[in-house]
Structure 1
Amino acid sequence: MKNLEYKNKKLQFSKTDIASVAKNNKTPFYLYSEEILVKNYQDFYQGAVNANLINPLVCFALKSNPNKELVKILAKMGSGADIVSGGELKRAMECGIPAEKIVFSGVGKTEEEILYALKVSKGKLCSFNIESLEELELINSCAKRTKTVARICFRLNPVVKPKTHKYISTGNKTHKFGLLEKDVLSFLKEKKYWSHSKLVGLSIHIGSQLLDLKATKKAIAKMCDIALKTQAPLEFIDVGGGLGVDYHPSETKRMPSIEEYMTLVYKTLHKEFYSKSDLRPRVVFEPGRRIIAKAGILVMRVLRNKISEDNHFVIVDGGMNDFMRPSLYGAYHGVTPVQEAKATTRVHVVGPICETSDCFGSDRPLPALKSGDLVILEDTGAYGYSMGSNYNLRGRPLELLIQKNQKLKTVNKAQDYKELL
């Protein structure tokens, strides 16, 4: 992981000594870097600009990490938001992201959430990304009741199979997400659903942790074809998010660069849409992981060792309730000791939760570790705290931010028992 290096045999993250931070803060805790977060956003946005994409809007996916202080940093840089709930809408707006930069995704928007979004945005929400006819009908009805016009974007299901984990693949017809081409074209003809709604965009989102762009190219081309068939004066085309990061060393060579990704988006849009239409809609992105994953680590302390014949377990104080991805997806995250030393054995790094799946890494080469030693789990900025829980009645961990001036800031205190009741 970049931005991790040893200095005098002590591990530093974003130029900050991790052991020093752990002296004054109880483990486990998340540690984020403002410098890395800012750079990742700037690289993504500037990549779109450099590729000559039209008036790009980067809508950060709040589901990846909705921490207020982190979202405020992104808002100040001009980021929009991709949201999937009323709570995320409130978080985005209270952090300074204007309604016109917010896309409301998700298959299960409630009537309460829709009415709130229409009222609080005064009809200026960038879009409701529609995923069913019943949803379109409900939103149109809510817009009529609130005397507004709902801005509608059809989320398309391009029927592609990206190379990613089945739980985070969203672009095939067997998935609950998106609309098929025939449905989109059919819904547009139903005038009764458009009395207080206006089609302003089309979108796709085919999955998360994408490292192979073949399916992405195919999906964008499909969206362009449907855009031409609708003959609608679209304001934007939303190419979604999901661009992956290199969690495992083997993924580094396969991971698309921002330049490669943006070039593919531009060339596909130019070939499949711009060359066939006078319309020049802006391009919207919905990245989450690519912006925030590498801006965070989880710091844990070793509780004890356990040896069961040829199985050596290192038990740490962080658990699957703090970081779910390895347990849920079998996801790989690097485990690194804070004190530099030569790896001498292969161990299973496990947490204290009463589940066999509470394991951060199996058969990992690590130095001899004893009670009190510190280790970190790499690349945990995305889908870490946001997917956490209070399972086993454990409080949610502390979140700390390394600011640009290298000073530490508490951006979310640790929960105590009273807060769990």
Structure 2
Amino acid sequence: MTLNPELLQKLANTAGTPFWLYDAATLRQRIADIKFITDSPGVQARFAMKACPATKVLQEMQKAGIWIDAVSGNEVLRALAAGFQGGQEPAQVCLTCDVFRDNALDVVLKHGVLPNIGSPGQIQDLVKAGYKGAISVRVNPGFGHGHVNACDTGGPSSKHGIWFEDFAEINKAAQAAGFPIHMLHAHIGSGPQFDELVDNLTQLAEEFASFLPQLPYLRSVSLGGGIPHNYRDPQAKVPLERLKKLFADCRERLVAAAGRPIGLEIEPGRYYVAPTCILVAKVTDVKRTRDNIKGAGATFAMVDAGFVDLVRPAMYGSYHRITVLPHDGAQRPEVPIVVAGPLCESGDVFTRDDQELLQPRDLPQPEAGDLLVLHDAGAYGYAMSSNYNSIGRAPQLWLEEDGSVQMISRRETLADLLKAECSEKLSV
């Protein structure tokens, strides 16, 4: 996204700060990238909508023929409301979860979406609920990781999926319940370097190929997401041609192992949306601490966005590029700055490392009234925002390719925060 300081200031004056701004052109380019790498016979892309479930984003996916991977009953309902179809012919929406909570089972029964189970007990959950239909099985292949250990999606430390050596037992339980397995699924994460990602995906396809003789009803195999986005280098490019060939080759290997047509799916989340959105905040003050026996002092730029808005840096030390837009347009020298938010929480800092230590960033000397931009906030930004300190979530704005801007969700008010509170007597 190309920053337009004049536009951002106008939006700040109109919508207030902080606010989220999505760039339609960037999103559509990322969608086009995924369409390119899945433009081979029998290959289908999904969107892991947990990364950014905004209706406007879902509608862009639906128009492009991208299917949905949902992880809760409400995500399924959001996808249906955005225009996706329920049912399994085809399974445009898949529900992937390790636990059926809240309305998940009801949604599966009512809308017939494909349940992608990640825990053995879910088979009996479906039986007890009266489910009749096919299932998908999420397998933990024993390898794969995220950019930090807390984001591991495969291997012994991951809670996701059914351990690969236990698959035969799960297959027997599914057969006994009358649930044909239509899809095998795994997700190995987007943490590896690209060559490692290719090796992991190839290994995953080979492991799944070994399962196919046991699965006469299998229709497709999902290799999950994992296409990386470089948060530090906006010019970094993913070798799309290589991915396209990889997915076509993996699909051919699966077809050969099965002796019949088998589809191949991928389900990126981060890659589509990470660069499509920025979080814009205002600098409210600059203050300093001094060196003492506890450590070095720092210069803090206080801003009105916090981890209620973008939690990733506080949660696991994720890196987001930062731009300071001086209110007077002046060129200022760069100095080491810690960017901190408004919350009553010491961890409300955007410039920290994955060891939870302050990591000052060289930025133009900020002043009160400047705008500060946190880049690449589209993936798990608004989606993971909260109401801590009773703060309403910031508005989401959408920048169209013709330069027009619309608000796609307003700033939350106290009434929004209180509307779920009640005083209802329960019969116990």
Structure 1 residue matching 2:46: 3-state secondary structure = strand
Q: Distance in 2 between matches of 1:291 and 1:261?
A: 15
Q: CA deviation at 1:73?
A: 2.1
Partner residue in 1 for 2:346 = 356
Q: Can you list the C-alpha shifts for 1:159-182, whole angstroms capped at 9, x where unaligned? A: 014362111111113321111233
Q: Distance in 1 between matches of 2:298 and 2:250?
A: 51
Structure 2 residue matching 1:333: 3-state secondary structure = coil
The residue correspondences of 1:8-407 to structure 2 (distance < 5 A) are 11=5, 17-49=7-39, 52=40, 54-99=41-86, 100-110=91-101, 112-119=103-110, 121=111, 123=112, 125=113, 127-144=114-131, 149-162=132-145, 164-190=147-173, 193-195=176-178, 197-212=179-194, 213=197, 214-227=199-212, 229-249=213-233, 256-270=238-252, 272-309=253-290, 310-339=297-326, 341-361=331-351, 362-407=359-404
Flag the 1:231–1:324 CA change in 2: closer, same or farther, 3 A.
same
Q: CA deviation at 1:219?
A: 2.3
Flag the 1:19–1:268 CA change in 2: closer, same or farther, 3 A.
same
Q: Can you list the C-alpha shifts for 1:180-203, whole angstroms capped at 9, x where unaligned? A: 2332212222466433x2211111
Q: Distance in 2 between matches of 1:411 and 1:130?
A: 33
Q: Distance in 1 between matches of 2:11 and 2:227?
A: 31
Q: Can you list the C-alpha shifts for 1:243-263, whole angstroms capped at 9, x where unaligned? A: 2201013x965x643333332
Q: Distance in 2 between matches of 1:163 and 1:298?
A: 23
Q: Is the 8 A contact 1:66 1:386 kept in 2?
A: yes
Q: Is the 8 A contact 1:136 1:193 kept in 2?
A: no
Structure 2 residue matching 1:354: 3-state secondary structure = coil
Q: CA deviation at 1:112?
A: 4.1
Give the % identical residues: 26
Q: Can you list the C-alpha shifts for 1:88-130, whole angstroms capped at 9, x where unaligned? A: 01100000011220111010113842232221x2x3x2x2111
Flag the 1:111–1:387 CA change in 2: closer, same or farther, 3 A.
closer
Q: Distance in 1 between matches of 2:72 and 2:325?
A: 38
Q: Give the letter for the 1:138 counterpart.
A: D
Q: CA deviation at 1:76?
A: 1.9
Q: Distance in 2 between matches of 1:279 and 1:110?
A: 36
Q: Is the 8 A contact 1:155 1:204 kept in 2?
A: yes
Q: Distance in 2 between matches of 1:118 and 1:302?
A: 49
Q: Distance in 1 between matches of 2:191 and 2:276?
A: 16
Q: Is the 8 A contact 1:343 1:365 kept in 2?
A: no
Q: CA deviation at 1:332?
A: 0.3
Q: Give the letter for the 1:419 counterpart.
A: D
Q: Distance in 1 between matches of 2:161 and 2:235?
A: 30
Q: Distance in 2 between matches of 1:170 and 1:191?
A: 24
- The answer on 1:4 being equivalent to 2:2 is yes
Aligned length: 395
Q: Distance in 2 between matches of 1:368 and 1:97?
A: 48
Q: Give the letter for the 1:114 counterpart.
A: L
Q: Distance in 1 between matches of 2:47 and 2:175?
A: 33
Q: Is the 8 A contact 2:145 2:191 kept in 1?
A: no
Structure 2 residue matching 1:138: 3-state secondary structure = helix
Q: Distance in 1 between matches of 2:174 and 2:183?
A: 18
Q: Distance in 1 between matches of 2:73 and 2:364?
A: 46
Q: CA deviation at 1:217?
A: 2.7
Structure 2 residue matching 1:182: 3-state secondary structure = helix
Give the TM-score normalised by the residue count of structure 1.
0.88
Q: Can you list the C-alpha shifts for 1:141-176, whole angstroms capped at 9, x where unaligned? A: 4345xxxx3221111111014362111111113321
Q: Distance in 1 between matches of 2:254 and 2:361?
A: 48
Q: Is the 8 A contact 2:146 2:153 kept in 1?
A: no
Root-mean-square deviation (CA), in Å? 2.1
Q: Is the 8 A contact 1:35 1:404 kept in 2?
A: yes
Segments of 5+ residues of structure 2 without an aligned counterpart are 291-296, 352-358, 419-428
Q: Is the 8 A contact 2:62 2:84 kept in 1?
A: yes
Structure 1 residue matching 2:386: 3-state secondary structure = coil
Q: Distance in 2 between matches of 1:134 and 1:84?
A: 17
Q: Give the letter for the 1:69 counterpart.
A: K
Flag the 1:329–1:252 CA change in 2: closer, same or farther, 3 A.
farther
Q: Is the 8 A contact 1:45 1:56 kept in 2?
A: no
Q: Is the 8 A contact 1:140 1:193 kept in 2?
A: no
Q: Give the letter for the 1:416 counterpart.
A: T
